[in-house]
Amino acid sequence: MSDLLRSAMAARLAKLPADLPPMGDEDEDNEETEAHDSLGSLPGSGMGPPAAPRTRPKPSKRPPNPDFAPLSASSYFSEALQVAIPERGLDVRAYYTPPKFAGGTVFVCHHGAGYSGLSFACFAKEVVEMARGEVGVLALDARRHGKTRSTTDPEPVELDIATLVDDFVAIVQTVFPHSPNPPPPLLLIGHSMGGAVVAHSSPRLQAAGFHLLGIAVLDVVEGSAVEALPHMHNLLNARPDGFDSVEDAIEWHVKTKTIRNDNSARVSVPAIVEAAPSSNLPAPHAWIWRTPLRSTAPYWMSWFQDLSMTFLAARTARLLLLAGTDRLDKPLMIAQMQGKFQLHVLGGGNVGHMLHEDDPTRVAEVLLEFWRRNDTSKLKLPVKIKGVGEA
């Protein structure tokens, strides 16, 4: 609760009039960084950390910082797919590195609200290298996110959990059809909002004949998420409405510690902003959010309500991976003590809500260990030991 109150107070500070001079020297930069350090994410909210409050006027436009230049995703995935889902009215962007061996497992990743499949880029590269080709990774852009496009006009605005689950199931069935070869074993991974999607999707995919080795939910807990929702609009008021350049957007994510890994931010952030629409009037920002979080507000409750019971009811192995220790709600706490799912807390203070971007190596290690523990294809029947004198 202390983190929640601190975040709400930080959002209120953003509404105070700015009476400080613009940033100038290095000492002021250090002072601002320390202010950012004091702001924690909403505990288990699934909505990410709040922006640092703006206590200074917006500086004049400056040249893009080359230290935050975008990086291509081509070094992190082997393929960028456009997957037509006509029954859902979608043309879906997915990033894929297939396993090198027949029958290899595929980690299927669903991002959180406002992000894209490229938030799993660094994680995917780590997984593929550590597993030496035994595991592939598919990461998709959900509707109204990234480079996924609607094929209907006007584009539907719905982002409720039922819509997202129907989309996800249709995408998996299209990318991995049952013929001419059976689909590979799958491990479903969802961050934040995506955690709810994979939890709700798992029984649907099992009923459709997919072999699920497990589901992994990253840094979202129903109780804390629902508790935090009334404060979200105040927290969103502290976010910038746009940026002068893509480099500016990347730099903001890194310096506010929304993403604590420079390389990951340079790959993932370009997919979550877009050029502002051209008009006769000068736009206040050259780049704006591709998916403004405030526009998703009508659907927040549907994402997180009943998430704990849905996760615990999944008929497959379950992993809850959290960035901090104070995020379990009561049903999960009881179930965890009963050994009904695996809980792993990264901790250490160097990861936040975007834990798979902040420390992709550690997250890959945890997920691969979870996969090895539950990959039934590797089980072998015990060898019968013959007695002395037996033929």
CATH of the domain at 116: 3.40.50.1820
Beta-carbon contacts of residue 300 (< 8 Å; ≥ 6 apart): 47, 229, 232
User: Alpha-carbon distance 320 to 373, whole Å?
Assistant: 15
User: Which one of the listed residues 192, 202, 268, 308 is annotated catalytic?
Assistant: 192
Q: Is residue 308 part of a domain?
A: yes
Spatial distance between the Cα atoms of 341 and 351, rounded to a whole number of angstroms: 22
100 CB neighbour count, 10 Å cutoff: 13
Of 111, 253, 353, 356, which one is the catalytic site residue? 353
* 3-state DSSP assignment of residue 322: strand
- Residue 22 tokens read as 């613009």
Domain count, the chain: 1
- Assigned domain for 301 exists: yes
Dist. CA 176–CA 174, nearest whole Å: 6
Q: What is the spatial distance between Cα 148 and Cα 146, in angstroms, rounded to a whole number?
A: 6
Annotation says 353 is catalytic = yes
Q: Which residue from 145, 121, 139 is spatially nearest to 175, judged by alpha carbons?
A: 139
- Residues 78, 98 contacting (CB under 8 angstroms): yes
* 45 in catalytic set: no
3-state secondary structure of 362: helix
* pLDDT value for 58: 53
Question: What count of Cα atoms within 13 Å lies in the side-chain half-sphere of residue 157?
Answer: 8
Averaged pLDDT in 10-residue chunks for the chain of 391 residues:
43 38 38 34 49 49 90 97 97 98 95 98 98 96 97 93 98 96 96 98 98 97 92 89 96 96 98 88 87 94 96 97 84 94 90 97 98 77 51 53
Active site (annotated) includes residue 358 = no
Handedness of CA 45, 197, 81, 138 (dihedral sign): positive
The token duo for 339 is 């050994």
Helix (H, G, I), strand (E, B) or coil at 194: helix
Containing structural domain, residue 251: 1-11+27-56+70-377
Q: How far apart are CA 197 and CA 218, in angstroms?
A: 12
Q: For the chain, how are helix, strand and coil distributed in percent, rounded to 5?
A: 40, 15, 45
Phi/psi of residue 96, each to 5°?
-140, 135
Q: How far apart are CA 237 and CA 4, in angstroms?
A: 16
Residue 231 included in any domain: yes
Q: Is residue 139 part of a domain?
A: yes
Which of 192, 167, 200 has its CA nearest to residue 112?
Answer: 192
Distance CA 153, CA 64 (A): 35
Tell me, yes or no, whether 105 lies in a domain. yes
Residue 22 in any domain: the answer is no
In this structure, are residues 285 and 241 in contact, taking their beta carbons and an 8 Å threshold? yes
CA 157 to the chain's CA centroid = 20
Closest of 234, 284, 307, 249 to residue 14, by C-alpha? 234
Peptide bond just before 180 cis, omega within 30 deg? yes
Q: Is 61 part of any domain?
A: no
Q: pTM to 2 decimals?
A: 0.84
- Which amino acid is it at 381? L
Selecting among 219, 244, 248, 358, the annotated active-site residue is 219
Helix boundaries (H) for the chain:
2-13, 26-37, 121-131, 161-175, 193-207, 222-228, 232-236, 246-255, 262-268, 300-304, 307-313, 330-337, 355-358, 360-374
- CB atoms < 10 A from the CB of 36, how many? 16
Residue 387 located in a structural domain: no
Is residue 46 within 8 A of residue 292, CB to CB? The reply is no
